[in-house]
């Protein structure tokens, strides 16, 4: 009882100090009420949820609104003229329009292609971008693997692949290399530049000004907004990338299984799909051995769309809009700022720092994804798997490893190209255990805490106390 009381008093004191340092947080207290009404299961079950970059959380209201909608109507497979099919088509088209509206994207300029997730959107571009020998695919080191993976499509068609390094300690990109690569284009070359608006490894936010800069030099630009969109406004009337990918579950938790590609109409028209499927053609013939692909989004949505869940995308986005993405952003950044201050201030009694932060050590040029490793007084790293396991014991949901973002992890952990090439010498597929052996105790992994719509001060406070429990301990 006394311990609980002590914890409560310490939490209150820390909160008072926090709001003194980050007074903007007080403008977002309506989100505390929202946590109590729409996300009450978090506190009822004692969860400290810090994995919003892995997956967002849904409000109770989204579920009930969706279920009511399904219970009230009769919905058939869309794209037919029967009444139940029309009812589904109407809802899906309404969701499509609303996604454009939410991102302030003009329907004259952009179309929404529903996909299974962000990776599905990226694969559509990878397989359809008309790469040819001599063309270029340029991307930053800190891309998610689904953006990295597009290099295999580029290479298979003879294009060259170039990476822009990110530099420690803040893991921002080397803009001199970026500028050099953007400058190196030849007439007639097709060039695609891809970068994350926010790195899912370090939380770094790359300048959106790069979009216009690259386009002015003839590049097509793919903006990966999967980790950015959940806690930042993305206004496509200001920023006009050619392609944007995202996953809706990362923004509002439910439903999973739907993402989208937001594509500029002119650029979409230049993509060549490698196949056709049900739903993507106007006419196809067996005996005539031909087909015509449908125009616009229809040519890119293979088979039956997720027609009963797509209406829940509109419900989710309307919910976020009612809360206000600016309020979510303000809150998340205040919490992230305090979290970083606290982590950076923790030293063992020897004076050695406990925490190494990957990404900017302030709230400039970053989002609310905070990635670290913990080190013991001798400078030995705590294995991220042990950190996660200790967090699990406290009901804290973190994410550890390299988060499908190997490039940022390699730079953060000082692993060279030579180190990494050693893992790809053998013909047989290497197991993760063998990988760890080759890495000789080093690893591109880290510990990630990420914040979102239902985060509160208690969440970050408990994470800080958790990190504090590693002070003056030896890593095994
Ligand atoms: C920046 C970024 N891009 C792409 C993806 C891929 O998203 P999904 O797994 O939903 O396809 C993720 C997922 O974490 C991400 O964080």
d(C-alpha 158, C-alpha 136), whole Å: 9
Burial of 100 by CB count in 10 Å (0-12 exposed, 13-18 middle, 19+ buried)?
A: middle
Ligand 1: atom nearest CA of 250 is 10
Low-confidence ranges of the chain (pLDDT < 50): none
d(CA 126, CA 223): 13
For 118, the enclosing helix (H) or strand (E) is: helix 118-128
Residue closest via CA to ligand 1's atom 14 equals 54
Q: What is the CA(300)–ligand 1 centre distance, in A?
A: 20
226 in contact with ligand 1, CB cutoff 6 A: yes
The rounded distance, in Å, linking the Cα atoms of 220 and 375 is 42
* Cα within 13 Å of Cα(139), Cβ side: 27
Per-residue confidence (pLDDT) for residue 430, from 0 to 100: 84
Helix axes 30-38, 310-323, angle to 10 degrees: 140
Ligand 1 near 119 CB (within 6 A) = yes
Distance 194 CA to ligand 1 centre (A): 14
Please give the pLDDT value at position 447. Answer: 97
Q: Please identify, by atom number, the ligand 1 atom nearest to the C-alpha of residue 199.
A: 1
Q: 227: Cβ below 6 Å to ligand 1?
A: yes
- H/E run at residue 69: helix 60-72
Residue 150 Cα, ligand 1 centroid: separation in angstroms?
13
Which of 200, 222, 232, 260 has the most ligand 1 atoms within 8 A of CB, as the residue to mutate? 200
Cβ neighbours, 10 Å, residue 61: 14
Mutate to test the pocket of ligand 1, among 116, 247, 448 (most ligand atoms within 8 A of CB): 247
- Per-residue pLDDT, 413: 86
Residue 143 CA: nearest ligand 1 atom is 1
Ligand 1 in reach of 117 Cβ (< 6 A): yes
Q: Annotated active-site positions, please?
A: 404
The predicted pLDDT at position 4 comes to 81
pLDDT digits (tens, 9 = 90+) for 319-331: 999 999 999 999 9
State the distance from the centre of ligand 1 to the C-alpha of 144, rounded, in angstroms. 6
What is the whole-number distance in angstroms between the Cα of residue 134 and the centre of ligand 1? 29
Which pLDDT score is estimated for 375? 96
At 233 the pLDDT is 98
Q: Which atom of ligand 1 is nearest to the CA of 198?
A: 1
Query: 């790069």: which residue's tokens?
Result: 210
Please report the pLDDT score of residue 211 as a whole number.
Answer: 98
196 Cβ closer than 6 Å to some ligand 1 atom:
yes
pLDDT of residue 257: 98
The pLDDT assigned to 441 comes to 67
Query: Distance between CA atoms of 368 and 232, rounded to whole angstroms?
Result: 10
Residue of 121, 203, 225, 227 best suited for mutating to test ligand 1, as the one with most atoms within 8 Å of CB = 227
Closest-CA residue to 394 (of 46, 15, 52): 46
**Rounded to the nearest whole angstrom, what is the distance from the C-alpha of residue 33 to the centroid of ligand 1?**
30
Measured from the Cα of 404, ligand 1's closest atom is: 14
Alpha carbon nearest to ligand 1 atom 7, residue: 118
The residue nearest atom 12 of ligand 1, judged by CA position, is 226
């Amino acid at each position: 009882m006394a311990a609980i009381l002590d914890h409560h008093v310490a939490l209150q004191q820390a909160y008072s100090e926090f709001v003194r340092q980050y007074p903007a947080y007080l403008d977002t207290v309506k989100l505390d009420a929202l946590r109590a009404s729409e996300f009450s299961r978090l506190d009822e079950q004692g969860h400290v949820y810090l994995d919003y970059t892995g997956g967002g959380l849904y409000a109770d209201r989204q579920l009930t609104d969706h279920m009511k909608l399904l219970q009230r109507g009769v919905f058939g497979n869309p794209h037919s003229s029967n009444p139940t099919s029309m009812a589904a088509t109407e809802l899906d088209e309404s969701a499509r329009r609303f996604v454009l509206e939410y991102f302030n994207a003009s329907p004259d300029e952009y179309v929404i292609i529903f996909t299974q997730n962000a990776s599905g959107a990226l694969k559509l571009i990878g397989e359809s971008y008309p790469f040819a020998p001599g063309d270029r695919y340029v991307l930053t080191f800190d891309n998610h693997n689904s953006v990295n993976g597009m290099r295999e499509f580029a290479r298979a068609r003879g294009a060259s692949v170039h990476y822009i390094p990110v530099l420690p300690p803040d893991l921002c990109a080397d803009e001199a290399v970026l500028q050099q690569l953007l400058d190196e284009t030849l007439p007639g070359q097709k060039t695609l530049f891809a970068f994350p608006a926010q790195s899912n490894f370090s939380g770094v936010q790359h300048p959106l000004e790069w979009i216009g800069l690259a386009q002015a030099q003839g590049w097509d630009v793919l903006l990966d907004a999967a980790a950015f969109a959940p806690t930042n406004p993305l206004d496509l009337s200001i920023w006009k990338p050619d392609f944007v990918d995202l996953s809706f579950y990362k923004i509002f938790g439910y439903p999973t299984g739907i993402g989208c590609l937001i594509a500029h109409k002119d650029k979409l028209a230049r993509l060549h799909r490698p196949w056709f499927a049900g739903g993507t053609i106007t006419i196809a013939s067996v005996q005539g051995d031909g087909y015509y692909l449908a125009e616009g989004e229809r040519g890119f949505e293979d088979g039956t769309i997720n027609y009963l869940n797509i209406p829940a995308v509109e419900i989710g986005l309307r919910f976020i809009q009612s809360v206000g993405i600016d309020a979510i952003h303000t809150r998340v950044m205040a919490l992230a700022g305090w979290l970083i201050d606290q982590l950076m201030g923790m030293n063992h009694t020897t004076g050695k720092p406990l925490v190494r932060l990957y990404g900017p050590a302030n709230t400039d040029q970053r989002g609310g994804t905070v990635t670290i490793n913990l080190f013991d007084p001798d400078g030995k790293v705590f294995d991220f798997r042990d950190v996660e396991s200790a967090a699990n014991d406290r009901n804290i949901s973190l994410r550890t490893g390299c988060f499908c973002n190997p490039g940022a992890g390699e730079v953060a952990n000082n692993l060279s190209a030579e180190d990494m090439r050693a893992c790809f010498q053998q013909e047989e597929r290497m197991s993760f255990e063998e990988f760890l052996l080759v890495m000789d105790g080093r690893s591109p992994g880290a510990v990630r805490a990420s914040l979102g719509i239902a985060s509160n001060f208690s969440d970050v406070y408990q994470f800080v106390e958790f990190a504090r429990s590693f002070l003056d301990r030896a890593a095994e």
